[in-house]
Copies of this chain bind each other. A is one copy, B any other.
């Protein structure tokens, strides 16, 4: 236990102890006040760490969502052979599920960019509850939207790869190889965005709980 004769010494001691994650019990009122402040600062630091991690994760999610949108949105393949009446061509807007995918992932990308300022508010003011509550609610909604886009596109991509015997739906990936590769890549990118959203909601819940 530190002998608090001067406040400076006590403060240095306390700063060292704070770094080890425990605050000392000192009786002098001034030092007690300083300790309380230090503990609050420590808590703020832990919440600030979560807020910084939240910001970095959002940047990753923006990259994943934009990659998914761009990859799916530019999917267009025309086969080199054609008949008199028909040219074989596959594009993302032939499939409603892929259209939904592009629209949904574009909305998610836009939301993520707009959420960055609120994430920065969380870094500057780690104890503010309102922006964090707003973010967790909207993140949850966006988690549902992104998951819906990703899994409906995944169902169609799976069907394109392997077809279905009972319904007599043939696999089209033997012909449209590039089309299938691009859509599969977009689905993988969107599932990365889903995982990041999941992690963001859990992080916000941990930061939101009271001590």
In the complex, A84 has a CB within 8 A of chain B: no
In the complex, A206 has a CB within 8 A of chain B: yes
In chain A between 20 and 50, which residues have their CB closer than 8 angstroms to a CB of chain B?
none
Interchain CA distance A204-B204 in the complex, whole Å: 12
Interchain CA distance A164-B169 in the complex, whole Å: 10
Copies of chain A in the complex: 2
- Nearest residue (CB) in B for A199 is B140
Interchain CA distance A110-B195 in the complex, whole Å: 23
- Nearest residue (CB) in B for A165 is B94
Excluding A132-B209, A140-B198, A144-B147, 7 further A-B contacts by CB distance (< 8 Å) are A90-B166, A143-B147, A147-B147, A148-B150, A159-B169, A167-B169, A205-B208
List 5 A-B pairs, minimum CB-CB distance, nearest first. A210-B210, A94-B166, A152-B155, A148-B151, A147-B147
